[in-house]
Amino acid sequence: MIFNFFRSTAGAVREINQKYATPHIKMTGGVRFSLGVLRFYLLLLVGIMVYKFITLLH
């Protein structure tokens, strides 16, 4: 039963990935720039959190 649940969930996720494989927003310079800055921002935050986690462990 649990195996079936995970299998059907994985199937649903694959379907969603296919459905939304292509972004529908027009990729203007402004949109590309905003998404790029957002990626950088999130990577920076994750880096800070990982640093905090490591310093906590020590």
Q: Which residues bind other proteins (CB under 8 A)?
A: 12, 16-17, 19-26, 30-31, 34-35, 38, 41-42, 45-46, 48-49, 52
State which residue, 7 or 38, has the beta carbon closest to other proteins.
Answer: 38
Cα torsion angle, 19, 25, 26, 31, sign: negative
Query: Distance of alpha carbon 58 from its chain centroid, rounded?
Result: 29
CB of 3 to other proteins, least distance (A): 19
For other proteins, give the closer residue by CB, 3 or 26.
26
